[in-house]
Structure 1
Amino acid sequence: MTFSSDDKIKQLQLLELEALKEIKKITDDNGITFFLRGGSVMGAVKYEGFVPWDDDVDIAIPRPHYEKFIKLMKENLSEKFWIASYSNDFESFCYFPRIFLREDVRKQNGISKNNLLGLCLIDCLPLDAAPKSRLSLIFYKIRVLYLRAIASTFTLNNEETVKTKKPIVYKVVKLLKVLRLNSKETQNQVYDKLDDIYKSNIYQDSEIIGTVTGSLSFKELFNSKVWGDGVKVPFEDTEMLIPEHFDTYLKKLYGQNYATEEPDYKKSHQEDRVH
């Protein structure tokens, strides 16, 4: 039987929803909060679930709960899912942890990989504080950008990574690799330095927070009131927490007309699957 692209996306969305609900059960039982992030917020607001043509889920965990979250996922996920995290001395090729479908389950279901490690279902990003002063914020951004570029040199030949980078960013990273500026450290050691920077600002006292480890980087920084305590909204057959002022959040990330406009090219991550 041949499955259409829509069938494959729906199959993946169902797996992601199952993993998302499992994560929610574990975090609820342990007093941890997480938010939907990025396009997943868009899906919740516009479609009460997944964006129909997309197969990507992102969540944001406030930094005070972040390390506990990773530990809980490692210890409590069912045998169907697993968490890849560099902080567990694992070569995950990514700073933030990701929830994967176990390989035996993936193969049994005949689903293609979307990552070198297998089938990634959910990206789990920390929700971090940024410096308050303008000067400190400038230095913060410079340090983060440099270390992120250095970390990228280790996966420069990874096709999946290359696809996500703008041409100018790719050229900069390639230059850093040619200059061997990554020769004294491993990728995980660079991630350790980034981790120290990300968690160096006190979350509870900060006026600016965001998922700066995400693809939109500093564009994802907001006044802490935008996130607030969050608001629960329908998401498929369950409820999920999204930023309290989600309209402000979505307008900044996706434009003033996000609620009425749709992209001309509706591209899913399924189209980039590797086998």
Structure 2
Amino acid sequence: MELVYKEKLKEDIEEGLKGQNKVNFDELFPDKRLENLQETELRQCQLILLRILKIVAYVCEKNSLTYWIDAGTLLGAVRHEGFIPWDDDIDIAMPREDYEKFLKIAKDELPEDLYIQNLDNTEFAGNTWTQIKDRKSKIVLSEDAKYHQGLYIDIFPMDSYSNNFFKRNFVEKIHKLSYIKVQAINAPLKKPFLKGMNLPKNIIKILLKIIFFIFAIFDYNKIYEMNIKSKNKRIEKMKENPKTNYGYGTEVLNWDVVFNKEDILPITEKMKFEDSEFMVPRNTDAILRGLYGDYMQIPKVDKQVYHNLSLKSVLTKEEEEELNRGFYY
């Protein structure tokens, strides 16, 4: 498969097909979910995610876009040569410029069984970056979700932050940190309230509401709207910074770690992940230590938590229709 991949990729680049014709991904990366029914539900879902990653990586390489596997996926590659055994998503990252180029071509280049979700096409996307979602499977993260619930891979934009300590930590990050605090305090409790990981998360939210009750008077939706409205302006400002470091995009509210450019770029090597190889940062140790500390230490069983409430790798026709209703371009 790797040889076929390389030959097809070389052929597409040489023929200058960038954005002109779709690759037949059914032949290059066939959907084998019905052949994997003997696997656990989680493993079946991981193999679906792996196919999405292969397709996205192919499109990036075909169009000379820089990407790398990131976060838990990078950790899985280093520590397990594949998925972290209990992981149920995939993370990749791109420099802002490549991320924007990818979004311009993705609709035309990705197969129709994948859905591109972000705040540009989904008002209640559930997050502020892009996810590529499978239209034939389902992952439930919240009982009252208003976004597409197909299995997904995360694509994070990476911005350059200022070299000035004050500007980077007290201006550029203030949007993220202040929003995260208000989000945590004002976010509604997860339903069902007492099921699985919802219980400890809801307890934490209740404690935050009590301790920081003054902040709770702020309207969560208003602050969210303000943050989104200022997003493009902040992105353009970040582009003015010298390219000496990279951190998760100004609209990526969860993480605020910043890495030296030399630890990431230029991307020149691939690393084994499951049955394939994907681009990785130049200094994987520095990246993983920045994110996780002692990353080779496997967490205790009670810390090996899933993102989901439930998973389903194969849907009925009716379930597919319900999943995709309202989510068409």
Instruction: Specify the TM-score bucket, using the shorter chain as the normaliser.
Output: 0.7 to 0.9
> Counterpart of 1:253 in structure 2: which amino acid?
L
Structure 2 distance, partners of 1:205, 1:165, is: 42
Instruction: Say which of 97, 103, 113 aligns to 1:70.
Output: 103
Superposition map of 1:202-213 within 5 A: 202=239, 205-211=242-248
Pair 1:244 & 2:282 matched: yes
Structure 1 distance, partners of 2:152, 2:44, is: 12
> Counterpart of 1:39 in structure 2: which amino acid?
G
Is 1:86–1:92's contact at 8 Å kept on the other side of the alignment? Answer: yes
Structure 1 distance, partners of 2:164, 2:202, is: 31
Pair 1:194 & 2:231 matched: yes
Superposition map of 1:1-275 within 5 A: 7-88=40-121, 90-102=123-135, 105-106=136-137, 111-114=138-141, 116=145, 117-137=148-168, 138-149=170-181, 156-157=188-189, 159=191, 163=201, 167=205, 171=209, 176=215, 178-180=217-219, 182-183=221-222, 187=224, 190-202=227-239, 205-211=242-248, 217-218=255-256, 220-230=257-267, 231-256=269-294, 258-259=295-296, 261-265=297-301, 267-269=304-306, 271-273=308-310
Q: Any unmatched runs of 5+ in structure 2?
A: 1-35, 313-329
- Deviation digits for residues 124-148 of structure 1 (CA, Å, limit 9, x no counterpart): 1101111110111122222332244
TM-score w.r.t. the length of structure 2 is: 0.68
> Counterpart of 2:217 in structure 1: which amino acid?
V
Q: How many residues align?
A: 261
Identify if the C-alpha distance between structure 1 residues 94 and 159 changes in structure 2 by more than 3 Å, giving closer, same or farther.
Answer: farther
Structure 2 distance, partners of 1:238, 1:11, is: 17
> Counterpart of 1:144 in structure 2: which amino acid?
K
Q: Please give the secondary structure, in 1, of the residue aligned with 2:279.
A: strand
Q: Provide the aligned C-alpha RMSD in A.
A: 3.4
- How much has 1:170 moved relative to structure 2? 5.1
Structure 1 distance, partners of 2:149, 2:94, is: 23
Q: Any unmatched runs of 5+ in structure 1?
A: none
Residue in 1 that maps onto 2:322: none
Q: Please give the secondary structure, in 2, of the residue aligned with 1:200.
A: helix
- Deviation digits for residues 82-134 of structure 1 (CA, Å, limit 9, x no counterpart): 111102364313110111111xx22xxxx543352212311111011111101
Identify if the C-alpha distance between structure 1 residues 90 and 68 changes in structure 2 by more than 3 Å, giving closer, same or farther.
Answer: farther
Structure 1 distance, partners of 2:264, 2:74, is: 12
Of all paired residues, the percent bearing the same amino acid is: 25
Identify if the C-alpha distance between structure 1 residues 197 and 87 changes in structure 2 by more than 3 Å, giving closer, same or farther.
Answer: same
- How much has 1:169 moved relative to structure 2? 9.4
Identify if the C-alpha distance between structure 1 residues 29 and 155 changes in structure 2 by more than 3 Å, giving closer, same or farther.
Answer: farther
